[in-house]
Amino acid sequence: DAGVIQSPRHEVTEMGQEVTLRCKPISGHNSLFWYRQTMMRGLELLIYFNNNVPIDDSGMPEDRFSAKMPNASFSTLKIQPSEPRDSAVYFCASSLVQGSGANVLTFGAGSRLTVL
Amino acid sequence: DAKTTQPNSMESNEEEPVHLPCNHSTISGTDYIHWYRQLPSQGPEYVIHGLTSNVNNRMASLAIAEDRKSSTLILHRATLRDAAVYYCILRDVSGGSYIPTFGRGTSLIVHP
Whether residue A113 has pLDDT greater than 90: yes
Pairing relationship of beta strands A10-13 and A5-7 according to DSSP bridges: unpaired
Interchain pair A107, B44: CB under 8 A: yes
**Partner A contacted by B29 (CB < 8 A):** no
DSSP B82: G
Cβ atoms of B87 and B103 within 8 Å: the answer is yes
For the stretch A18-76, pLDDT in tens is 999 999 999 999 999 999 999 988 999 999 999 999 988 888 988 999 999 999 999 99
Q: Average per-residue pLDDT in chain A?
A: 93
CB count, 10 Å around CB of B70?
Answer: 19
**Partner A contacted by B7 (CB < 8 A):** no
For the stretch A63-86, pLDDT in tens is 999 999 999 999 999 999 999 999
Tell me which chain B residue has its CA closest to the CA of residue A95: B98
Task: Assess whether the previous peptide bond of B7 is cis (omega < 30° from 0).
Answer: no
Burial pattern B31-50, b for ≥16 Cβ within 10 A else e, equals bbbbbbbbeeeebbebbbbb
Whether residue A14 has pLDDT greater than 60: yes
Interchain pair B43, A102: CB under 8 A: no
For the stretch B45-68, pLDDT in tens is 999 999 999 999 998 999 999 999
Interchain pair A104, B87: CB under 8 A: no
Tell me which residues of chain B, numbers 40 to 79, contact chain A at a CB-CB cutoff of 8 Å.
42-46, 49, 51
Residues, chain B: 112
Interchain pair B98, A110: CB under 8 A: no
Whether residue A107 has pLDDT greater than 80: yes
For the stretch B33-46, pLDDT in tens is 999 999 999 999 99
CB < 8 Å to A56, chain B = 99
B91/chain A closest Cα distance in angstroms: 7
Mean of pLDDT values over B28-32 = 85
pLDDT for residue B63: 97
In terms of C-beta density within 10 A (0-12 exposed, 13-18 middle, 19 or more buried), how is residue A47 classed?
buried
Interchain pair A105, B44: CB under 8 A: yes
